[in-house]
Structure 1
């Protein structure tokens, strides 16, 4: 009688049969809690689709890891809830507090809103609370202070406001408090100085005020104190901060601080000091700082006096910034003459806009040294040899590395195939060894250096040692600095000791992912805290599941499940086979139809990308790759297989055009070639997606620069070049393009700056054509076509 509804009814009946055979053995209150959590989440990618089927632990719900054995109460218990980077929105359910055995709660890099439920503070075993990279708001509940076993609290990059709870003093095991990039306000609780285990205190980019607690110097384990971009107006840097016993990094940039620079010479491991953009006065202390010192930034203050002679005895120094002060006396060439430079070392001395009048020594720094002197009286000394080489203006540096490893340049181009998921292992002992890497987005949140090349090999050794891999298995594909944080794109390759296998086995992938997501890497003063941006599984790893943890469940329970479900297995297989057969013809027809629509779209200079290529370029459209959003959808920064960096504009469902309109638009844009127009690199029209691929402008928008979100502001000359370049681009579109195109959205947010701070204009919205065109793939010459949001770029005159 059940099968009267044909296939659908039979499948439903069989599923009920299987559900009955596999009776739930996760604690009922935890099952109820997880269902409540799912109800309050918005899951557009349907990543949690299996949360409505079976039992959380025995059915391996996505992101749920459970105990292997039944507890004293006869149930399995949820130990980890990890759903990072799944494009989830919605809010966090208070029922999370019912997961009483939870050790890890990880919702990183989603789109969650709402407040943090106070009930989370009732999960006493919780060790990791990871909610960074969302849109959470409201104040923090005092109940979080009840988490006495918490090791790591990451709430950074949200919109959380209000004070930092004083109850945090009860977190007696916490080592990492990452609350940066929010809207916290009020006084920093001095009570935090009573946490004996605290290693990293990151509170930068908030609205904190009041004074700097002098008691922080009593923290016995503190390595990083990072409070940049807050407002402690009128406060001074406590003299007690010279008594930190193990501090490695002190960063107090743009905090409204007054008074003198304290003597920090007694801090034996201090490597990084940033006190820039404050109101500090008086001379710089003359006592010698730590030999580990890599970075000293005292720029944009009111300091006077001379450069301390002790600065000439800092063997690890990479950056010394004293610009925009009132310093006098001679410039000491001993600073670089006493240093021994390796091929990867660098020293940057920025002494601009002071009152330095002479040079002590010979002004002939080696190529490893960057010296900037403009705005000093010494630049007017025409008798000083070579001084003009260091007194001109130059663009700011944008250190970015790509193609770190080029040892595979002589390998056969076509010998490492298979959908771009395989590639040559750059440092392989076996030449041209081809394998599929794991792709990992990784960021150092507060490193104690400002220039990475000298530390690349130590980082590779640290990373592979932490993962129990050989060093050749790691490739740093790219890295770039992002406001003091070092972002990397890592690739891990399988070992050649495993019969030269070209892929990791499942257990190795699970082990590596667990190492990253459990934050069990050994601590490093040099590299500081890290964050996992994404762990993308593509190609041969796409079907790996991380929730299969029932192997330790009692055999009797598993046998009952297997026997109870065996009677249904054959029937399910038969029905699935019938349905697959029925759908196969439809899919084949649809594929032929889509391929046929592309035959006529072979345009010179415009690439036809596959969906796989776009997913690979953006780490499967990872949130960490997103650089913008508009009414049409999202913009992603992508890296193609040839290392070209591009901007990928992906239309959302409500902005999709008809295929004819979309392909016609591509043909129109492919006609537009001018030095003041951003080039169209290509497009993607697969799997119901519409994407346009443009060249990438790395330095942000003019609007950001005008609103002082970046370090410098465009001067009059730059603004003039922007205006003239924009006029040239518009003139071409209006009068020379065939057919004419009218850009209707010129504004500061559409004017970009490239890697050399040259100005360009672009609108990252999908274009729209009006009036309608006549035939697919053609644009009649007599039509004056209006394109909203056509990208326009500026090159300097």
Structure 2
């Protein structure tokens, strides 16, 4: 296998997470900190050897993800991800010097020692993930300073001592998981002061016989309260004030008294109060709970009668079940019609009423108990009656269980998945909901996901281990995922892009399985590299592997090819120059890393200086992207005919020594994506952003209406809109563009191109994704997403948040101005409102609801005209620096939270344009 194939599989779309910019260095104190962290750790697999290099960010230290702070010009560590590295040693106090870090992830290692109190200095921290180690000692009070912390996940360790009161200050925390430790002392009432807490999970600790604070019943956002086996005493507090409680587990404690009669949330799925010393009767408030799956009251001192009202008047959803475990109590009677439906399981063994089972006609409920039921092993293994010889199982192909096409055979991608804290007890009723949740966030459809197996982990009933299989979408041409799609799925899962669901809770990635057509002879070590790359920290490993493979593999005859004449075919393309490989080497200083300015699916992009001093951008195809010679020159011929001030111009090409390169004009201000990043976004006023939008739209309009044949770009995104020295936008990268059929005077062209879906998640037209019908309106959708980025500064997809949904919700609630990019400065409100209306029209789900590109350009020109009439212009004389002119001194500044009525703004009129500041 070619070394480039290994590199492509391992990269997993995460190179953009690393700081490669020339001339930028890591802050000195953070360099010192990371070296101290490395000295404290022992790495048996030697995967941290590159931490010995000089600059952690610029040198891509494994697991170190950086970003630049515009205030001091330094690169700062933003994420430290070293999960599942088999690391030994201790956590260094110098971690506290990484003051810009948002994610600290050391899950599933063998780290020992205590948690340094200095971690409490990292007030920017959003995720603290230390579960699955051997950490001991007590929890430092200073961790209560982490007011931005969303997830506190330090379960499955050996932590002792009390829970600090200061944890009540974790005002942003939603998931607080400290189960399976050795915590002592008492349950602090202060934990109820965490206003956003959704999961409080402290199982299997020892709180010394203390009581559950009454204030825990006031946690208004709590979904799950799990205090199983914590040596708790006293009575159960009134928990009826928790409006959305889904899961309650107070089992295996020493709780006494009666069960509170107050009714719990109607949403509750699970009530586990077993193995306590509770007395009294079953409260009537447990009757008729519509979503209840399990009521576990076994092994208590309860008495009285059992009422059939518990399951009566409940309409069970499809596949829903209800388990009532009342074993080993003192129940002596039953009331009501004790003939439950088939989906209700009742366990009465060990109660006095079972001595009279025949008379009461309850013999079937008094059998010997077998403990808690295990979840089914393979809920999706339905009986498929298809010919076995048509689907080569030995090559890891399988019939797709839910395929809309019968006997559809395809190769699945396997994923080990762990639900850390689901708020349910039985999974089958939620199978379809889970599939929709996962696939919708991965850009797939539900039938592409098969749940091959699942099991509740023994001794840790909170966790549900699953093995998922993802199948490629059915088409007539391929029954496997392509490399790009594998990379995309791996990246989304491994980087925790899937948002946390209230029902299923936070998840952990366990492994990926790349076998059959996906293994392609890849060794286990390389597969491991792919997984780690998806987790954003294996790029260096993959590069090392790639270098080794490159040394071992033959050079594809490159030495011999140097003796070939430059032009293998007599090709003369007007306006485009042919360059030799040697000229490209000289221009890029032998393709040095210092000159690399980008990378995409086509290959790497280098800045080069030609012999005449012209600065260019050179796109060098990697071997997996090489075309046939005829196809390559056909593409060059097409590109050479495209001339527009808002398209990046092709200067030349190189086709020599089994290399293919395209030489473009150099755009000194880089991509729009970079310009919208934190380091430079403050330079972009609304006037400049509108100008960029108009330039981009004009470039796309040229492709649709003036190019011959017309071209659909198919991958419009902020990274493919480049900016010259005056911040004029030019559309680039037609690597996956498609030609639109044209009429010849006798036939009518089709309105769309049927094609395999390609594009970038977040920018991809949803109707095109579903139908595979590509039209010009697909480009309109993608450009609409770019417009929303320009207005809000948000990314199309970030942490499960979709920009279209977020903006639509804000606009419909009258809070449009609250989501405008705060770095924009003062802006004219009516113009912004018109621009937002246009952006949302472009990003409608249905093609018929979107404007044409011509309408887009005309509307942007109208908004620009409004700006000029109001005296807001983009001065060309001021573009040499920031490229921005001021909004003027007569601007009006209404309040930041101005309410926007009448959206989408059909009543807007030109004239005096009020100006407001974003939040």
Q: TM-score, normalised on structure 1?
A: 0.59
Aligned partner of 2:236 among 254, 258, 261: 261
CA distance in 2, matches of 1:307, 1:338: 17
Residue aligning to 2:8: none
Residue aligning to 2:454: 479
Residue aligning to 1:306: 281
- Verify: 1:370 aligned to 2:345, yes or no: yes
CA distance in 1, matches of 2:505, 2:21: 46
- Verify: 1:435 aligned to 2:410, yes or no: yes
Aligned partner of 1:447 among 422, 426, 445: 422
Shift of 1:367: 2.1
Q: Which moved more, 1:544-553 or 1:116-125?
A: 544-553
Residue aligning to 2:626: none
Aligned partner of 2:490 among 513, 537, 546: 513
Shift of 1:122: 1.8
CA distance in 2, matches of 1:53, 1:239: 54
Shift of 1:550: 4.2
Q: Which moved more, 1:414-423 or 1:284-293?
A: 414-423
CA distance in 1, matches of 2:372, 2:111: 34
Residue aligning to 1:215: 190
CA distance in 1, matches of 2:79, 2:21: 26
CA distance in 1, matches of 2:598, 2:49: 20
**1:688-718 Cα shifts (integer Å, max 9, x gaps):** xxxxxxxxxxxxxxxxxxxxxxxxxxxxxxx
The answer (yes or no) to whether the contact 1:109–1:533 under 8 Å persists in 2 is no
CA 500–236 in structure 1, closer or farther in 2 if over 3 Å, else same: farther
CA distance in 1, matches of 2:391, 2:49: 35
Shift of 1:49: 8.8
Shift of 1:245: 0.6
Aligned partner of 1:121 among 78, 96, 118: 96
Written as runs of structure 1 = structure 2, the 5 A alignment for 1:271-290 is 271-290=246-265
Residue aligning to 2:298: 323
The answer (yes or no) to whether the contact 2:204–2:228 under 8 Å persists in 1 is yes
CA distance in 1, matches of 2:382, 2:100: 48
- Verify: 1:556 aligned to 2:592, yes or no: no
**1:745-794 Cα shifts (integer Å, max 9, x gaps):** xxxxxxxxxxxxxxxxxxxxxxxxxxxxxxxxxxxxxxxxxxxxxxxxxx
Listed as ranges, the gaps of 5+ residues in structure 2 are 1-19, 523-529, 544-596, 610-615, 624-655, 660-919
CA distance in 1, matches of 2:54, 2:230: 53
CA 73–309 in structure 1, closer or farther in 2 if over 3 Å, else same: closer
CA 372–31 in structure 1, closer or farther in 2 if over 3 Å, else same: same
Shift of 1:562: 9.9
Residue aligning to 2:472: 494
The answer (yes or no) to whether the contact 2:605–2:619 under 8 Å persists in 1 is no
Residue aligning to 1:231: 206
The answer (yes or no) to whether the contact 1:105–1:126 under 8 Å persists in 2 is yes
Shift of 1:307: 0.4
CA distance in 2, matches of 1:130, 1:452: 29
**1:515-543 Cα shifts (integer Å, max 9, x gaps):** 22332323321111111112343444446
Aligned partner of 1:525 among 471, 496, 502: 502
Shift of 1:399: 2.2
CA distance in 2, matches of 1:467, 1:56: 32
Residue aligning to 1:133: 108
CA distance in 2, matches of 1:368, 1:291: 20
The answer (yes or no) to whether the contact 2:43–2:87 under 8 Å persists in 1 is no
Residue aligning to 1:245: 220
The answer (yes or no) to whether the contact 1:26–1:56 under 8 Å persists in 2 is no
The answer (yes or no) to whether the contact 1:150–1:171 under 8 Å persists in 2 is yes
Listed as ranges, the gaps of 5+ residues in structure 1 are 1-21, 78-99, 573-797
The answer (yes or no) to whether the contact 2:64–2:80 under 8 Å persists in 1 is no
CA 113–194 in structure 1, closer or farther in 2 if over 3 Å, else same: same
Shift of 1:288: 1.0
The answer (yes or no) to whether the contact 2:45–2:86 under 8 Å persists in 1 is no
Written as runs of structure 1 = structure 2, the 5 A alignment for 1:700-715 is none
Shift of 1:446: 0.7
The answer (yes or no) to whether the contact 2:120–2:145 under 8 Å persists in 1 is yes
Shift of 1:388: 2.4
The answer (yes or no) to whether the contact 2:37–2:94 under 8 Å persists in 1 is no
CA distance in 2, matches of 1:253, 1:459: 26
Residue aligning to 2:118: 143
CA distance in 1, matches of 2:171, 2:346: 43
Shift of 1:396: 2.5
**1:243-298 Cα shifts (integer Å, max 9, x gaps):** 11111111111112111111111211011111112121111111111111111111
CA 23–349 in structure 1, closer or farther in 2 if over 3 Å, else same: closer
CA 37–503 in structure 1, closer or farther in 2 if over 3 Å, else same: farther
CA distance in 1, matches of 2:64, 2:400: 33
Residue aligning to 1:535: 512
The answer (yes or no) to whether the contact 1:162–1:184 under 8 Å persists in 2 is yes
Shift of 1:435: 2.8
The answer (yes or no) to whether the contact 1:442–1:531 under 8 Å persists in 2 is yes
**Whose Rg is larger?**
2
Secondary structure at 2:424's aligned position in 1? coil
CA distance in 2, matches of 1:398, 1:355: 23
The answer (yes or no) to whether the contact 2:163–2:188 under 8 Å persists in 1 is yes
CA distance in 2, matches of 1:326, 1:283: 10
CA distance in 1, matches of 2:373, 2:357: 31
CA 104–411 in structure 1, closer or farther in 2 if over 3 Å, else same: farther
CA distance in 2, matches of 1:392, 1:306: 22
Residue aligning to 2:164: 189
Shift of 1:33: 8.8
The answer (yes or no) to whether the contact 1:57–1:550 under 8 Å persists in 2 is no
Written as runs of structure 1 = structure 2, the 5 A alignment for 1:160-179 is 160-179=135-154
The answer (yes or no) to whether the contact 1:26–1:55 under 8 Å persists in 2 is no
CA distance in 2, matches of 1:132, 1:150: 16
- Verify: 1:155 aligned to 2:125, yes or no: no
Secondary structure at 1:556's aligned position in 2? strand
Shift of 1:455: 0.7
Secondary structure at 2:302's aligned position in 1? coil
Shift of 1:199: 0.3
Residue aligning to 1:636: none
CA distance in 1, matches of 2:87, 2:395: 33
Compute the RMSD of aligned alpha carbons: 3.9
**1:493-514 Cα shifts (integer Å, max 9, x gaps):** 22336x6533333333333223
CA 54–276 in structure 1, closer or farther in 2 if over 3 Å, else same: closer
**1:455-478 Cα shifts (integer Å, max 9, x gaps):** 111111111111121111111111
CA distance in 2, matches of 1:119, 1:446: 32
Shift of 1:417: 3.2
CA 35–541 in structure 1, closer or farther in 2 if over 3 Å, else same: farther
Q: Which moved more, 1:295-304 or 1:435-444?
A: 435-444
CA distance in 2, matches of 1:180, 1:215: 20
Residue aligning to 2:806: none
Residue aligning to 2:592: none
Shift of 1:73: 9.8
The answer (yes or no) to whether the contact 1:494–1:503 under 8 Å persists in 2 is yes
**1:531-581 Cα shifts (integer Å, max 9, x gaps):** 111234344444666649942898327989999x99xx9899xxxxxxxxx
CA 24–562 in structure 1, closer or farther in 2 if over 3 Å, else same: farther
Written as runs of structure 1 = structure 2, the 5 A alignment for 1:599-638 is none
